[in-house]
Structure 1
Amino acid sequence: MSKIFAGVIITTLALYGLSPMDASAAVKAQTVAYTVDNEKFTGYLTYDDAYSGKRPGIIVVHEWWGHDAYARKRAEMLAKLGYTALALDMYGTGKLASHPKDAKSFMMAATKSVGQMKSRFLAAYDLLKKHNTVEKSKMAAIGYCFGGNVAINMALAGVDLNAAVAFHSTLTQWVKKTPKDLKTKIRIFNGADDPFLQKPTVAAFESVMQASGADYKHVYYPGVVHSFTNPEATEKGKKFKLPLAYDAKADEDSWKQTTELFRKIFNSVR
C-alpha cells in the first residue's frame, strides 16, 4: 500500500518564472510539497482569496514534459474563474524534461503501473479535496497530452470526479477494466490532423465509453495537430521536428467549452 504524506510550502511566483497576477483579483498561489512512496513531489495550488465560500476543486495534469509554467498558468486561469486549482506533479520534484527522450523516460516511469499512477494522482487529489476552500463533492480534472490520458484513466479507475477533460490526448488506456456506470462526464478535444492519435485507439476508447454509459463528447479541430493549446508548441515542434503547433482558435474554443461545462455542472457564476 502506498504511503502518502503532505505538507505545504509557500514561495514567490518569481521563483517559477510566473508573471504577477492582478492584485484586484486577490488570487493566491503557493507551492505544495508532498511525498508518495518516499519520493518528493511539488505541485502548485491557487485560488481567489476574495471569495470566502467553498468552491469546486480542479486538478490540472501537465503535459509529458513535466510540471511546468504552462500547467501552473492553467491553474491560475481556473482560479480567476472562481475555482481552487492544483497543478499536480506526476514525475517527482525537479523532473522537468528539456528533450523528448527525457519526457518519454519520465512518462514511462510514472505509468509503469496503474497503482503507482493512481497513488501519485490521489496524493494531489486528496490535498486539494482537503483544502479549506474546496467543496468536497465538487471535483474535476483536466489534462494536456499525457496529462489528458491521466485525467481520463483516473475516472476509469474510479476516482470520484464530476468531470474529466483531456486536451490533445492520445487516449492511451492504462486502466483496462471498463466501469459499468461511469458517472464522470468525459470531454476530449483533439486536432483532427494529430498523427499521435491513432484510429484503432480512438475506436477502442469509444467502445469503452459506450459500454460504460458515459456522458462523453469528442471534439475534433480540422487542420490542427498535437499540443494546440500551448503557445510554445510551435517552437518546440520545430526544434525537435515533431508535429506540434499552437492553434489559437482551437485553444480558445476548447477552453470555452470546458469552462461552460464546469459552470453547468457546478452551478458556477463566472
Structure 2
Amino acid sequence: MRTFRSLLFILLALVATVACKQKPEEGPKEKMAQEDLPIKVEGEEVRYATDSTEMRGYIAYDKNLDGKRPGVIVVHEWWGHNDYVRQRADMLAELGYTAIAVDMYGDGKQADHPDDAGKFAMSVMSNLPAAKARFNAAMELLKQHKTVNAEHLAAIGYCFGGSVVLTMANTGADLDAVAAFHSGVQLPVPPNEDLKAKVLVCNGADDSFIDPASVTAFKAAMDSINASYEYISYPGVKHSFTSKEADANGKKFGLPLEYDKVADEKSWQELKDLLAETFLK
C-alpha cells in the first residue's frame, strides 16, 4: 500500500510539474494572436483654419495598430482636395502611418476645368505666406492627433502638391522626408541651407509640363548644398502618371496626361523605401 501511495504521489508531482511548465508557453501564443489584428483603416473628416481661411481635410490611420507612429502630410493635385488624395492617405494608413490629406485651396474647393485649376494653384504658389500658413495649420493638426509621434513627420504631393511640399521643405519646415510625384521643380523658394528633409522626386521623362532646364537647375542647387535627394525620371512616361483619372482628363481637355501602371507602382515603392529608411531604422 505504501509503495502504491508513493508511486501515486510521484505521478501527481510529475503531472503538476509538466502543467506548470506549459503555462508560460501559452502566454506568448495568446498574446501573439491578440496582436495579429487585421488592418482597419479609420477615416476622419477634419476642419482646421488659418486666420483667414477654413479648410477641410481627411485623416486616415490603422485603428488596430497600437502606439504612436510617424505622420505624413498629403497634398493634392491642382484639381483640389478630392477622392484621389484621400485614397493616397488611406494607402499610407495601410502601411502603418497616420496621414492627413490637406486642403490648400480652402473650404474643400475643387476645380472642374484646367483653367480654374491653374488659377487656384497660382493663387497659392504666388502667395507664400498664405501657403505656409495653410500647410502649417494642417501639420499642427496632424501633430496633435492621438496616433502621431510629432517628432516624425513627412510630406508627399502630386503635381501642384509636389511643388508645395518641395517649397515647404525649402523654407525649413520641420519635416524628415518629402516626396513629389509628376511635380514641377521650378519653385518659389529654391533649395537652400534651410532644407532639412530627405527628398524624393519621381517624374516622367516625357512630361511636357516640366522644363528640362528647371530639372538641371534643381539638381545643381541640391548638389550645391549637399542635400540628401534622389531624382527619378521614368522613360516614356507622361504627366499625372500616378492617377487613373489621367487618361480621361487628358482626352476631355486635350492635355498630355497619361496613367502609367508600372511607373505608378515603382514610384510608390520608392516612397515606401524612403519612409522606411527615414523612420524604421
Bin for the TM-score computed over the shorter chain:
0.7 to 0.9
* Counterpart AA for 1:254: S
Instruction: After superposing the two structures, state which structure 1 stretch, 210-219 or 237-246, moved more.
Output: 210-219
CA separation in 2, counterparts of 1:100 and 1:59? Answer: 24
- Among 77, 90, 96, the residue aligned to 1:82: 96
Q: Tell me if 1:126 matches 2:140.
A: yes
Tell me the TM-score normalised to structure 2 length.
0.84
Structure 2 match to 1:229: 242
Q: Tell me if 1:164 matches 2:175.
A: no
Q: Tell me if 1:200 matches 2:203.
A: no
Deviation of 1:179 after TM superposition, in Å, equals 2.5
Deviation of 1:181 after TM superposition, in Å, equals 6.1
Structure 1 match to 2:19: none
| Contact kept in structure 2, 1:181 and 1:212, CA below 8 Å | no
Q: How many residues align?
A: 245
Deviation of 1:265 after TM superposition, in Å, equals 1.2
Structure 2 match to 1:254: 267
* Cα pair distance change 1:171/1:131, threshold 3 Å: same
Deviation of 1:24 after TM superposition, in Å, equals 4.2
CA separation in 2, counterparts of 1:174 and 1:264? Answer: 28
CA separation in 2, counterparts of 1:183 and 1:34? Answer: 26
Structure 1 match to 2:46: 32
* Counterpart AA for 2:269: K
**Root mean square deviation of aligned Cα:** 1.4
* Cα pair distance change 1:257/1:94, threshold 3 Å: closer
Deviation of 1:94 after TM superposition, in Å, equals 3.5
Structure 1 match to 2:200: 187
Structure 2 match to 1:6: none
2:173 is paired with a residue whose SS is: coil
CA separation in 2, counterparts of 1:180 and 1:152? Answer: 14
1:182 is paired with a residue whose SS is: coil
Q: Tell me if 1:64 matches 2:97.
A: no
2:278 is paired with a residue whose SS is: helix
Structure 1 match to 2:159: 145
**1:136-169 C-alpha deviation (Å, 9 max, x unpaired):** 1110000000000001111000101111100000
Structure 1 match to 2:256: 243
Deviation of 1:212 after TM superposition, in Å, equals 2.0
CA separation in 1, counterparts of 2:115 and 2:194? Answer: 38
| Contact kept in structure 1, 2:79 and 2:110, CA below 8 Å | yes
Structure 1 match to 2:10: none
Tell me the TM-score normalised to structure 1 length.
0.88
Instruction: After superposing the two structures, state which structure 1 stretch, 179-188 or 237-246, moved more.
Output: 179-188
CA separation in 2, counterparts of 1:217 and 1:207? Answer: 12
% identity of equivalent residues: 50
Kindly name which structure, 1 or 2, has the bigger radius of gyration based on alpha carbons.
Answer: 2
Give the gaps of 5 or more residues in structure 1: 1-22
Deviation of 1:31 after TM superposition, in Å, equals 1.0
CA separation in 1, counterparts of 2:127 and 2:224? Answer: 24
Q: Tell me if 1:91 matches 2:98.
A: no
| Contact kept in structure 2, 1:181 and 1:213, CA below 8 Å | no
Deviation of 1:93 after TM superposition, in Å, equals 1.1
**1:38-90 C-alpha deviation (Å, 9 max, x unpaired):** 32110100101111211000000000000000000000000011000000000
| Contact kept in structure 1, 2:172 and 2:194, CA below 8 Å | no
| Contact kept in structure 1, 2:61 and 2:94, CA below 8 Å | yes
CA separation in 1, counterparts of 2:165 and 2:66? Answer: 28
Q: Tell me if 1:104 matches 2:136.
A: no
